[in-house]
């Protein structure tokens, strides 16, 4: 059978573009469909704009630090509309970069929603196309809890485009998105209330990390409501009221509500049933090589709900292209993938948490912690850094490394190489660090 394309990719986000470009470099005839801006969640509604918001929010602390060091500076006022316009300009530039990358790679871009007709046929805004292989890379979307008045709330996609900064905001959800935006908006001068269903923020992270981040956020002025859920949102002339459950039911009077209660695979519009693609627990079921229940259809990235990180989606997309179009079969290893929460303070982790390690090897686990005030903050600030190693006491192998503090992501990213190669605590202790630096403490923990 003759096909229009060797590969058709649905979704021009990080994973889809990586796969399309690499497959085209191997000589495949490739097309990609996208109904939204190029670059996907990361470029438009995730990593990139979020990090720009993080940078903007940290200047207030820098002004205070400057005064501690003898500078006479005034913080001034933050201009939200100016920042939003500058951010939008940069995101628009990146959209054009991705378009040029596709063009230079020889990938055909089709604008519109792609939907399955059968396992080899798609309809893109009325145009029918066929492909020998199809890759689904549509990412995820924010989940909205079913509570009265939820239509009055923003989700993470919305917050990047709010025209005016909310003076008072309630953030519902203690995951990384909620925690990051609590720090961002508090740093920009908003009064922030964070509503967390559990006792601590950042479920699934190491317990010490969770406690340190939460205490630090509270000390900076974020009002944290733990063991609490939002049961309703009500709009009125003065703004919004968020009604809470908990030991002492109460309400919050705010100008805006951000719901950050997780993300789900964005599968609804695809008509997967027409192609016979299996969905399990709300995500596309795939094997180690990203193959779905149909031999010619594959999926990568957040729509598979394996590890929802941009670098993982890119690695999955490239591994798929290498395997299917260059006779180099391999798949992504999910061992020792570092991750970060750009909270305030920043947190980063790689490997096992203490709880995961104890579940795996029991009492053989040994943990080493160091908590101190970094040199930058010794002239008046009270910020504390936390470093932690989780070690197999029998083999001395480092199972996990965790950190809360400035540049945590940069430091843990380097340690990820060591953990992936099986480094022991002795290896770290024999490594000479850079002095004075925060990262050197990982090489001398007792």
Q: What is the DSSP string of 94-156?
A: HHHHHHHHHHHHTPEEEES-EEESSSSEEEETTEEEEEEEEEE---EEE-----TTGGGSEEH
pLDDT at 361 over 80: yes
Mean pLDDT confidence for 265-276: 95
Q: What is the pLDDT of residue 75?
A: 76
Query: CA 292, CA 286: separation in Å to the nearest integer?
Result: 4
Asked if CATH classification 3.30.390.30 holds for the domain at 345-443, the reply, yes or no, is: yes
Instruction: Return d(Cα 323, Cα 290) in angstroms, integer.
Output: 10
CATH topology assigned to domain 150-261: FAD/NAD(P)-binding domain (3.50.50)
How far, CA to CA in Å, does 3 sit from each of 29, 369, 388?
10, 59, 54
Residues 48, 40 contacting (CB under 8 angstroms): no
pLDDT of res. 28: 98
Domain range list for the chain: 5-142+264-325, 150-261, 345-443
Q: Please give the mean pLDDT across all residues of the chain.
A: 96
Q: What is the pLDDT of residues 324-346, one digit of tens each?
A: 999 999 999 999 999 999 999 99
Percent of the chain predicted with pLDDT > 70: 99
In this structure, whether the domain defined by 5-142+264-325 belongs to CATH 3.50.50.60 is answered with yes
Catalytic residue check, 377: no
Encoded tokens for 160: 């990047």
Mean pLDDT of 155-179: 96
Q: Specify whether the CB–CB gap between 240 and 168 falls below 8 A.
A: no
pLDDT tens-digit readout, 66-115: 999 999 988 789 999 999 999 999 999 999 999 999 999 999 999 999 99
Q: Write the Ramachandran bin of 419: left for phi over 0, alpha for psi from -120 to 50, otherwise beta.
A: alpha
On the question of pLDDT at 356 being above 80, the answer is yes
Mean pLDDT in residue range 53-78:
91
Residue 34 confidence (pLDDT): 97
- List 82, 236, 335, 435, catalytic entry: 435
Q: Tens digits of per-residue pLDDT, 180-196?
A: 999 999 999 999 999 99
Find the mean pLDDT for residues 43-51.
95
Phi, psi of 424 (to 5 degrees): -100, 165
**Residue 247, pLDDT above cutoff 70:** no
Largest Cα span, the chain:
75
Average confidence (pLDDT) over 299-317: 96
Q: What's the confidence (pLDDT) of residue 17?
A: 98
Residue 32 has pLDDT above 70, yes or no: yes
Mean pLDDT of 4-19: 98
Domains 5-142+264-325 and 345-443 share a fold: no
pLDDT at 212: 98
Q: Is the pLDDT of residue 41 over 90?
A: yes
Residue 382: the pLDDT is 76
The pLDDT of residue 1 = 74
The Cα–Cα gap between 290 and 286 comes to: 5
Please give the average per-residue pLDDT across 252-269, as a whole number. 95
Cα angle, residue 84 at apex, residues 80 and 90 outer, rounded to 5°: 145
Residue pLDDT, tens place only, 281-306: 999 999 999 999 999 999 999 999 89
């Amino acid at each position: 059978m003759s096909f229009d394309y060797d590969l058709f990719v649905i979704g021009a986000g990080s994973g889809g573009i990586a796969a399309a470009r690499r497959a085209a470099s191997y000589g495949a005839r490739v097309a990609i469909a996208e109904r939204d801006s190029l670059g996907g969640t990361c470029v438009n509604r995730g990593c990139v704009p979020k990090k720009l918001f993080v940078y903007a929010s940290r200047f207030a602390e820098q002004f205070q630090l400057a005064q501690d060091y003898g500078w006479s500076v005034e913080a001034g006022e933050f201009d939200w509309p100016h920042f939003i316009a500058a951010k939008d300009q940069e995101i628009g530039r990146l959209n054009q970069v991705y378009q040029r990358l596709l063009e230079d790679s020889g990938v055909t871009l089709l604008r519109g929603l792609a939907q399955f007709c059968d396992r080899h046929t798609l309809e893109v805004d009325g145009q029918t196309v066929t492909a020998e292989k199809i890759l689904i890379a549509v990412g995820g979307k924010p989940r909205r809890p079913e509570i009265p008045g939820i239509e009055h709330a923003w989700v993470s996609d919305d917050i990047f485009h709010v025209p005016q900064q909310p003076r008072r905001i309630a953030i519902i959800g203690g995951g990384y998105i909620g925690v990051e935006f609590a720090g961002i908006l508090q740093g920009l001068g908003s009064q922030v209330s964070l509503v967390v269903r559990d006792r601590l923020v950042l479920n699934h992270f190491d317990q010490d990390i969770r406690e340190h981040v939460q205490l630090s956020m509270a000390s900076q002025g974020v009002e944290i409501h733990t063991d609490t859920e939002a049961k309703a949102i009500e709009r009125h002339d003065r703004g919004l009221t968020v009604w809470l459950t908990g030991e002492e039911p109460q309400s919050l009077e705010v100008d805006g509500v951000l719901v950050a209660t997780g993300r789900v695979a964005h599968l609804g519009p695809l008509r997967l049933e027409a192609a016979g693609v299996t969905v399990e627990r709300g995500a596309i079921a795939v094997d180690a090589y990203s193959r779905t229940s149909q031999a010619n259809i594959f999926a990568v990235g957040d729509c598979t709900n394996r590890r929802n990180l941009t670098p993982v989606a890119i690695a999955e997309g490239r591994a798929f292209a290498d395997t299917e179009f260059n006779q180099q079969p391999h798949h992504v290893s999910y061992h020792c993938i570092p991750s970060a929460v750009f909270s305030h303070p920043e947190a980063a982790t790689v490997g096992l948490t203490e709880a995961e390690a104890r579940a795996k090897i029991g009492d053989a686990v040994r943990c080493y912690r160091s908590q101190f005030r970094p040199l930058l903050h010794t002239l008046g600030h009270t910020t504390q850094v936390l470093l932690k190693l989780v070690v197999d006491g029998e083999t001395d192998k480092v199972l996990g490394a965790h950190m809360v503090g400035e540049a945590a992501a940069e430091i843990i990213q380097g340690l990820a190489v060591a953990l992936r190669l099986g480094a022991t605590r002795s290896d770290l202790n024999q490594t000479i660090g850079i002095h004075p630096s925060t990262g050197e403490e990982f090489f001398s923990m007792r």
